[in-house]
Amino acid sequence: MSSPDVIDHEMEETQLIDLEGLHFPPDEGLPSGHTLPDVLRDARRFHAGDPSVVSSMSTDLLPAVMHTLRRPELIRTDYPLVLLPCGKVQPLVEFFIEIIAKIENSKVLSDNLVRVERQVREGLKTVADAAKVIGSAGSKVGDMLALNEKADHDFRTKGAELVQSIPKGTILVPCTSVAGPAVALHIIEAQTRGNHLRDSVIKMRDALKSMNSREPAVEASGIDSSKLQTVLGKTTSGSVPMDESRTKRVKATIKTIEAWLTNSDSPLYVVTSSFADDISVPHSATKVKAGDSLCNKAIETFDELAQRYAQLFGAMRTARLELANAYESPRHDHLLENFCRKCFSDAEFDLMPKVVAVGSVQDGLANMASLSTILRSARPVTLLLLGDDLATLDHERIELAYLAVAHRKCFATQVSIAHPSHLVDSIKSGIDSVRPTLHTIASEDTHPLGAWLEGNAAIEGRACPLLRYDPSQGLTWAERFDLVDNPQTEHDWPIWTGEIDNQKLELSFTFAHCAMLTTNLQQYFMQLPDGVTSSDLLPIEQWLHLSLDESATVLPYLWAADADGAIHKLVVARVVTDVCRERLDYWNTLQELAGIDNSYVEQAIQEEREILDTAFATERETLASKHATEIESLRTTASQVAMQQLAEVLLGGGGGFVNPLVSASAPTIAPVANGTIATPTEAGEEVATEESATTEPEDTGSGDLGEAWIDSPLCTTCNDCMDVNAQVFVYNEDKQAYIKDASAGTYEEMVRAAEACPARCIHPGGPLNPSEPNLDELKKRAADFI
C-alpha cells in the first residue's frame, strides 16, 4: 500500500496517537466490471455534486483517529461535573480522588470508584443531587459485584462514609446543553455570596445616625465652634457644627439608605428567552422571562437595578464624605445629584446584583442592535448564548464571539461544553473583568455519539474554535486575545501520527472529519473500493492547500475506520470541502489575531530577508571581483617570477623555485586546543523518595516507650502474633498485621509477640495497665524493639 499520507520522509512536528486495532483491509480488487478510470470518474462526479452518483458510505464509519473512542460510555471525560456549594467546579474523578483520600482503610471502595463513576455517568441524564446519585450508583455497583461478606460490608460502609462527606447542596451536571448555563450560573451565584453590601450599608447608616445625634451635644458644651473655626482659619473642613443644610443632607442620606434596606433584591437576575425558559436557576436567583427580546429585557432589568443602586451608591458616597467631614457642597452637590450608573466604579458595579441573560445564538442575532448596545456599554451584563449547529454546511454563518470582539471593550468568548476547564476559566475571568460579557457556548447534545465527542470533534476540526478576548488583560492585542485550549494551534488542522500495519501514517482532523459524524451529512462522503490508489487522489488536508485550479483535477479523500478497525478511503463532496476552506479561512484569521503565522510579521520578515539578500549579493559580488583582480595580479607576478627563474637557471644561476602564491598569502591555522568538557554539577543530594508507609505514633504517655505499633509493610504474614492474641493483632486489607486494640491483651502478650515476630516489626511500646505484674522486666525486654 502506498499513499501520500504514508510517511517515508522526515516527520513534521506532530502528535502521536495510538492507532491500535486499525488495519488496512485486504485488497480485493475493484468490483467486477469496474476499471480504475470508472471508479475515479464516478468519484469525480460525486465530488462535484452529481445527484446521479449516490454515496455508498456505510454507517459504522468514523474518522480513523476516533476508532478507539467508538463507545462513548467507556470514555472517562471531565463529566459529570461536580458543582460544590462553595462555587468550585470539578470533574467527578478529581472529586472522588480528593474525597477518598480522607477516608481511611477504603481500599475496596477506592479500587471500585471507577465502576461507581461509570455507573453515575451512565445514569445521569440531567442536573441532580450528587449525594443521591452517587449513593444509588454505589449501591448498584455493590449489587453487581456480589463481593464476599466482609468486602461487601467494607464497600458499603465506606461508601456511606463517602456519601456523607459530600457537602450538602453539591450537584452533578451531565454533558448536555444544560451544562453551560448550569456551570456559569453556579459560579456567578457563588460569587454573589461574597457580597456583603447590606452589612456595610447598615454600618454606614448607624455611623451617620450617631453623627447626627452627636453634633448637637457638641454645641451644648458651650463652645461656639464656628467662632473657633474662624480663629483657626479653617473654612472648608474640620469639625464644624452641623448647619441646617448638612443636617438635612445627612437625614436625606439616612432616608435613602433606609429605603434601600427595605428592598428584597435577589443577588442574581436570570433573564431567559423562550429558548431557555426551562433552565433551572439557583435558589437565590430571580428568573425574568424575556420572550423573544432577550437583550432588551436584559438591558431593562439591569437599568432598573442600576437606577436604584445609583441612589444607594450616591447616598453611600455622601455618607462617606460626611463621616470624613469632607463634603464640600459646591463641589459634591452637582456630582451626587446626577449620580447614575455611568459614574459607578468597578467596585460599585461589583456590589450590584448580577444580571445574566440566557438564550440561544439565534436570540442574539435576532436582537443584534440591543446586543451591540450591551456590548459597547459599560453594563456588566453577562450573556450566555447557546449554539448547537456545530457542523453546519452554512458557510455564511456569523461568528457571534468574533463579532463581539469588534466592540473592543467587552469580554467575549467562544466556549464549548465539550471543554469544561476552558468554560470554567472563561466564566471566572468574565466575572473578574466587570464588563459586558458574551459567552457563546457550543452545546450540541442530540448527536448519537454524545455531546462530548461531537463538541470535541467540532473544536478539533476547527468547526467551532475556542477563543477568548479579555480587554482587562492589557493594552496590546497579544495580551487580550488568546486561542488557548484549541488543539495544535500552530497547525491549520491538528495532525496525528500513528502506525497501522507497521506503516507510519500522518492523519489530520479537518472540518470534513467533523462533518462525517453528522448523520445527515454522511451523504456527502463516498467510500472507495479498498486498495484504490491513484495520483488523482490526495488526502484532504493536502488537497486544501492546492489552488482552486490545481484542486480541480484531483480528488480529496479522508481515512475512516469501520467497526472492525479496517480503514477505508472516503471521497469528500465539494459542498463539504467548500466549508472546509471557509473554516480554514476563519481559523487562519484567528491564528493571525493570536500572533500565529501573522501575515504582517511574515511580510516584515520577507522584506528584511530581501534587503539582507540584496546586501549579501552586492558584498559577494564586490568580494568576487576583488578576488579575481588579486588572482590576476598574482598570476602575472608568478609568470614573471617563473620566467625570471627559468632565465636564471638557463643562464647557470642558482636558486630554487618559490611558489609565490604560497609564500605570499597562505595563512597559518593554529591548532585548536582540546577543550575540557565541563562536568555538569550534580543535582544536589538525592531527595528522599517516599516516606515510611507507617507513621510512628507520638508518645501518648504510656511510659517512656510510647504506644504499641506495627510497621505493617514489613509484616510477613506469619500468624505468630495472632497466635499470641487474635484480638490485639489483626490483618489489614493487605493481609499484614496491625494493632487493632492494644487494650484487648496484656503487656506481657505484646512483648511476647514482639519477640516472636520474625520480621521484628512489632513495637510493644509501654504498658497500658500500670498494675500488671513484672512490668520492670517486661519493659526491659520491650526496649529491644523500640
Partner 1 sequence: MFGLKQDWSLDVLPRYFTLDDYESSVPRWCAGCGDHGILTTVQRICRDKQLLPEKTVCVSGIGCSSRFPHYMSTYGFHGLHGRAFPVACGIKSRRPDLDVWVATGDGDCCSIGAGHWVHAVRYNMDMVAILFDNNVYALTKKQSSPTSQIGQSTNTHPKGAPLPPLNPSTTTLSITNCSFVAQTVDWNPVHMHETLKAAHEHKGFSFVRIFQRCPVFSEECFAEAQTDPDLVQLVEHDNGLQVSESGTRIYKNRRTHDPSDLVQAMAVSNQTDVLPIGLLYQNETMPIYNEYSSVGINSTPEDKINALNHQLDRFAI
Mind giving me the DSSP string for 50-62?
-TTS-----TT-E
- Which of partner 1, ligand SF4, none has residue 289 at its interface (CB below 5 to 8 Å by kind)? none
Q: Which three cell numbers stand for residue 570?
A: 472516503
Three-state DSSP at 592 gives helix
Among 115, 209, 287, 397, binds partner 1 (CB under 8 A): 115
Residue 280 half-sphere exposure toward CB, CA atoms < 13 A: 12
Radius of gyration of the chain (CA): 40
Instruction: Supply the minimum distance, in Å, between the C-beta of residue 88 and partner 1.
Output: 20
137 or 721: CB nearest ligand SF4: 721
Among 762, 763, 778, 782, binds ligand SF4 (CB under 6 A): 762
Q: Decide if residue 611 touches partner 1 (CB under 8 A).
A: no
Chain CA centroid to CA 540, Å: 30
Length of the chain: 786
CA gap 485, 463 in Å, rounded: 14
- Which of partner 1, ligand SF4, none has residue 693 at its interface (CB below 5 to 8 Å by kind)? partner 1
Q: Can you point out the beta strands (E) in 156-232?
A: 171-173
Task: Convert 446-485 to b/e letters by CB count within 10 Å (16 or more is b).
Answer: ebebbbbbbbbbbbbbbbbbbbbbbbebeeeeeebbbbeb
Among 734, 741, 772, 777, binds partner 1 (CB under 8 A): 734
**Alpha carbon distances (Å) from 680 to 24, 677, 688:** 49, 9, 22
Site for partner 1 in 404-443 (CB under 8 A): 418-419
Which residue from 474, 400, 465 is spatially nearest to 437, judged by alpha carbons?
A: 400
445 or 720: CB nearest partner 1: 720
Site track for ligand SF4 across 699-718, x = CB under 6 A: -----------x----xxxx
Instruction: Supply the minimum distance, in Å, between the C-beta of residue 729 and ligand SF4.
Output: 6
Site track for partner 1 across 36-75, x = CB under 8 A: -----------------------------xx--x-x-xxx
Strands 81-83 and 171-173: antiparallel
41 or 76: CB nearest partner 1: 76
The CB density around residue 148, as the number of other CB atoms within 10 Å, is: 9
Mind giving me the DSSP string for 206-225?
HHHHHHHHHHHHHHHTT--H
Dihedral sign, Cα of residue 771, residue 777, residue 778, residue 783: positive
- Which of partner 1, ligand SF4, none has residue 692 at its interface (CB below 5 to 8 Å by kind)? partner 1
Site for partner 1 in 137-166 (CB under 8 A): 144-145, 147-148, 150-151
149 or 244: CB nearest partner 1: 149
> What's the first-to-final CA gap in the chain, in angstroms?
71
Q: Decide if residue 111 touches partner 1 (CB under 8 A).
A: yes
Site for partner 1 in 703-732 (CB under 8 A): 713-720, 723
436 or 745: CB nearest ligand SF4: 745
Instruction: Supply the minimum distance, in Å, between the C-beta of residue 747 and ligand SF4.
Output: 17
Site for partner 1 in 743-762 (CB under 8 A): 758-759
Q: Which three cell numbers stand for residue 491?
A: 497547525
Q: Decide if residue 694 touches partner 1 (CB under 8 A).
A: yes
Mind giving me the DSSP string for 279-303?
----TTEEEEEEET-HHHHHHHHHH
Count, residues near partner 1 per rule CB under 8 A: 55
Q: Decide if residue 759 touches ligand SF4 (CB under 6 A).
A: yes
402 or 729: CB nearest ligand SF4: 729
CA gap 362, 459 in Å, rounded: 20
Q: Decide if residue 121 touches partner 1 (CB under 8 A).
A: yes
Q: Which three cell numbers stand for residue 579?
A: 466549508
Judged by CB under 6 A, which stretch of 271-279, 384-392, 625-633, 759-767 contacts ligand SF4? 759-767
- Which of ligand SF4, partner 1, none has residue 737 at its interface (CB below 5 to 8 Å by kind)? ligand SF4
Mind giving me the DSSP string for 408-432?
SSSEEEEEETT-HHHHHHHHHHHHH
**Alpha carbon distances (Å) from 4 to 20, 39, 538, 540, 556:** 21, 19, 7, 11, 11
CA gap 264, 76 in Å, rounded: 44
- Which of ligand SF4, partner 1, none has residue 710 at its interface (CB below 5 to 8 Å by kind)? ligand SF4
Instruction: Supply the minimum distance, in Å, between the C-beta of residue 723 and ligand SF4.
Output: 8
Tell me the backbone φ, ψ of residue 785, rounded to 5 degrees. Answer: -120, 25
328 or 734: CB nearest ligand SF4: 734
Instruction: Supply the minimum distance, in Å, between the C-beta of residue 297 and partner 1.
Output: 36
Q: Decide if residue 758 touches ligand SF4 (CB under 6 A).
A: yes
Judged by CB under 6 A, which stretch of 207-215, 311-319, 755-763, 770-778 contacts ligand SF4? 755-763
- Which of ligand SF4, partner 1, none has residue 733 at its interface (CB below 5 to 8 Å by kind)? partner 1
- Which of ligand SF4, partner 1, none has residue 628 at its interface (CB below 5 to 8 Å by kind)? none
Edge-to-edge strands, sheet with 354-360: 285-291, 268-273, 354-360, 382-387, 437-442, 411-416, 467-469, 481-482
610 or 696: CB nearest partner 1: 696
Q: Decide if residue 117 touches partner 1 (CB under 8 A).
A: yes
Tell me the backbone φ, ψ of residue 361, rounded to 5 degrees. Answer: -60, -35
Which residue from 17, 114, 25 is spatially nearest to 68, judged by alpha carbons?
A: 17
Instruction: Supply the minimum distance, in Å, between the C-beta of residue 718 and ligand SF4.
Output: 4
Judged by CB under 6 A, which stretch of 44-52, 131-139, 145-153, 753-761 contacts ligand SF4? 753-761
- Which of ligand SF4, partner 1, none has residue 279 at its interface (CB below 5 to 8 Å by kind)? none
CA gap 420, 88 in Å, rounded: 13
- Which of partner 1, ligand SF4, none has residue 70 at its interface (CB below 5 to 8 Å by kind)? none
Q: Decide if residue 296 touches partner 1 (CB under 8 A).
A: no
Which amino acid, 222?
A: G
The footprint of ligand SF4 (CB under 6 A) covers: 710, 715-721, 729, 737, 756-759, 761-762
The footprint of partner 1 (CB under 8 A) covers: 17, 65-66, 69, 71, 73-77, 108, 111-112, 114-115, 117-118, 121, 144-145, 147-148, 150-151, 418-419, 453, 456-457, 460, 485, 487, 496, 688-694, 713-720, 723, 733-736, 758-759
